Amino acid sequence: MSDTRGEAVLDLAHVGKGFGGTVVLDDIDLTVPQGQFVALVGPSGAGKSTLLRLVNGMHLPDRGTVRTLGVDPAACSRRELRALRSRVGFVFQQFGLVGRLSALENVLMGALATLRWPRYGVMSYPRALRERAVHQLDRVGLADQRFQRCDTLSGGQQQRVAVARTLLQRPELILADEPVASLDPAASAMVLDILKRISVEDGISVVCSLHQVDLALSTADRVVALRSGRIVLDEPAAALSAERLHALYEKAGAHGDRH
Ligand SMILES: Nc1ncnc2c1ncn2[C@@H]1O[C@H](COP(=O)(O)OP(=O)(O)OP(=O)(O)O)[C@@H](O)[C@H]1O
Ligand SMILES: [Mg+2]
């Protein structure tokens, strides 16, 4: 049921979703092969977050089918859904860290779902897990800051801790919902570079919603643009110009997309 060999990591077919009579996603077809970095762009309200939530079963579609890592979230029991979510890393705009805890302990919390009882303090985690956590912090360039409280780290550093926490769960797919929306340009570029490197090194697909057209083009293998709940562009990043992507946003403004 969960075998993904030779299968797309993500496969949405004719997916529709609405809230209270308003159609938010309409007839979405999207297949993502293993290892691909997909930037999901489009104006505010286009449906990007809703699409990402459908992928890990936080929302269920009204129409069509979603297959994530070979699993249909709509057909899952609660337990199966938890199992699926443990295979899908989710990085949010709000980093979701515990400010008073160290970077290392926050990363370790990424493994809490796999442990049987609550943990208090870094030393209460198994040693092998602590070593893996330090390794992931090293990958995001923060091994030296591992004992620093998260609320004393910069926004960019905090998001890198959140990425390391996600990596500890050994995700087979990473979803990122505007992971750099609250960061300055340099920190944004760094976080996306890290996500891209992880995608390449670990062969993990990343689907990342972004508002920065330039970053989408410089980071992603493929750009998918949504507007008013429909896919209006789906092309290799290399084939795209910034002007074409910017135009999507301008048209949205002119036609008054829903918000
Ligand atoms: N749980 C919900 N209940 C009702 N409406 C919702 C819900 N979630 C999303 N919507 C609506 O669905 C539409 C798409 O929202 P969504 O958050 O997916 O857009 P988005 O592309 O992520 O926008 P942004 O770039 O601002 O994050 C919006 O009109 C929003 O108000
Ligand atoms: Mg959103």
CA distance 223 to 233: 8
Q: What global pTM score does this model have? A: 0.92
* E strand intervals along the chain: 10-19, 22-32, 37-41, 63-68, 88-92, 173-177, 205-209, 222-227, 230-236
* The predicted structure's pLDDT at residue 61: 97
- Look at ligand 1, atom 25, and give the residue with the nearest C-alpha: 44
CA 239 to ligand 1 center in whole angstroms: 29
Q: Give the chain's domains with CATH numbers.
A: 10-96+172-255 (3.40.50.300)
- Look at ligand 1, atom 10, and give the residue with the nearest C-alpha: 19
Q: Give the range among 105-114, 126-135, 185-194 with minimum mean pLDDT.
A: 105-114
CA distance 65 to 54: 10
CA 252 to ligand 1 center in whole angstroms: 15
* The predicted structure's pLDDT at residue 252: 57
- Any idea what the Cα angle at residue 48 is, between residues 68 and 252, rounded to 5°? 150
CA distances for 58 relative to 24, 88, 133, angstroms: 15, 12, 27
pLDDT band (50, 70, 90) for residue 140: very high
* The predicted structure's pLDDT at residue 112: 78
What number is the average pLDDT over the span 178-183?
95
Q: Assess whether pLDDT exceeds 70 at residue 3.
A: no
- The DSSP code for 126 is -
CA distance 186 to 168: 25
- Look at ligand 1, atom 18, and give the residue with the nearest C-alpha: 47
CA distance 76 to 84: 9
Q: Pocket residues for ligand 1 (CB within 6 Å)?
A: 19, 24, 42, 44-50, 258
Are 41 and 89 within 8 A, CB to CB? Answer: no
Looking at the CA of 17, which ligand is closest?
1
The average confidence (pLDDT) of the chain is 91
Residue pLDDT, tens place only, 30-79: 999 999 999 999 999 999 999 999 999 999 999 999 999 999 999 999 99
Atom of ligand 1 nearest to the CA of 59: 1
* The predicted structure's pLDDT at residue 85: 94
Residue 259 CA, distance from chain mean position: 22
Pairwise pLDDT comparison (251 vs 214), residue with the higher score: 214
- Look at ligand 1, atom 27, and give the residue with the nearest C-alpha: 44
* The predicted structure's pLDDT at residue 251: 65
